[in-house]
Chains A and B, each alone.
Chain A
Amino acid sequence: MLMSIGAPSSWRLRRRAAAGILLLAALPVFGHGTEYEILAGGLVGVRAAFDTGLPMAEAPVLIFAPGESGPEQQTTTDRRGIVCFAPDRPGTWVLQIRAQGGHGMRINLEVDESMLPMGAERQEAALTAWQKLAMAACGVWGFLGTALFFRRRRRETR
């Protein structure tokens, strides 16, 4: 599945930077078009390169979830300028890539429900506070029950 999206306006400001977005199996694309593909596992891969074709290698990347102002994930591109992430909800994901010398780019990725990997629903906390409280109460009852049991035995044997 290959889709193309329009180049975000911030790209045009950065004349020396161009990006190719790909998902492992997709064709690398340079220039002002972006293309991406969703892998079976729901991984989105992006390849960032300067317009000379030189990859933005080992550049810090901030990945923002839809509607979030703080980054969801901080990572770096690899040697080939590739960064992968697994979106867990639909919406516009923003990737901010900073290359050396003040270069960088901002990529908006539209992710819809069909692109989410299976089991990507946001993970709930393993235990809620009430569940924890109930477990703690059971644990305490185990200890106190032991205490009461031994007290009772002692009285009977007297």
Chain B
Amino acid sequence: MHISEGVLDSRVIIGGYAAAAGLTALALSRVRQEEIPKIAVMGAAFFVSSLLHFKVGVTSVHLSLAGLVGIVLGLPSVLALLAGLLFQAVMFQHGGLSTLGVNTVIFAVPALLACLLYSGLGRLAGGRRVVRSLIAGAASALAVLVGAAIVLAVLRLSGEELTGIAYLFSLAHAALALVEGVVGFVVVQQILRVKPEMIPAGLLRRRS
């Protein structure tokens, strides 16, 4: 889902940086020092996950874990994603420095959406662990699709013609969404079993 250097038009790059800066500032204003270890650990998971590639037909996709990071961290997930993307770009040329802003938006928006969805529906589900985990899985899967949709929208905004490749890209991400849904379900189920207080109650609300 990373957009590489040289693909986007300058207005989109600047817009992406502006949006990412806004999100980062918001996240920084809400983050507390005791949350930093959790952010760092999720950042590490996100950083590594992009190295795990899956072959889907002729293209390959990699795990993004954006939804899971969003559910576990809430708003500070922006920081974990930004740091992860920065190191992916610098170390593995996954994405790029000029597109760091756009890529942050591509991952952060689905992450925050997944968090909202999980906390909203999770509250309705009450304390039932399986239902909550299922919601987490669904939110993780949806995050992948939303991310893919943002990528296509950004490419379109940059004046790229969306052809067969775009459909292939969407199909590959539909397959990835299934994988991430399962990962989200399993991980959140484990967290709820072992340390339920790790998951925030909402995007801006913390568990007291």
Task: Give residues of chain A (129-152) contacting chain B, Cβ–Cβ below 8 Å.
Answer: 132, 135-136, 139-140, 142-144, 146-148, 150-151
Pick the residue among B34, B36, B38, B47 that contacts A139 (CB under 8 A). B47
Pick the residue among B47, B51, B91 that contacts A143 (CB under 8 A). B47
Residue A122 CB within 8 A of the other chain: no
Chain B nearest CB: distance from A142 CB in Å?
7
Residue B92 CB within 8 A of the other chain: yes
Pick the residue among B34, B38, B47 that contacts A140 (CB under 8 A). B47
Query: How many residues on chain B are close to A (CB under 8 Å)?
Result: 17
Chain B nearest CB: distance from A40 CB in Å?
30
Q: Are B51 and A136 within 8 A (Cβ)? A: yes
Chain B nearest CB: distance from A137 CB in Å?
9
Chain A proximity mask over B21-49: 1 for CB below 8 Å, otherwise 0: 00000000000011011111101100110
Pick the residue among A135, A142, A143, A147 that contacts B92 (CB under 8 A). A135
Q: Tell me the interface secondary structure of chain B in the complex.
A: helix
Q: Are A144 and B40 within 8 A (Cβ)? A: yes
Chain A nearest CB: distance from B16 CB in Å?
23
Can you list 24 A-B contacts (CB < 8 A)? Answer: A132-B51, A132-B92, A135-B92, A136-B47, A136-B48, A136-B51, A139-B44, A139-B47, A139-B48, A139-B91, A143-B40, A143-B41, A143-B43, A143-B44, A144-B40, A144-B44, A146-B37, A147-B36, A147-B39, A150-B37, A150-B40, A151-B37, A153-B33, A154-B34
Question: Can you add 8 more A-B contacts, CB < 8 Å, to A140-B47, A146-B40, A150-B36?
Answer: A132-B92, A135-B91, A139-B48, A143-B41, A147-B41, A150-B34, A150-B40, A153-B33
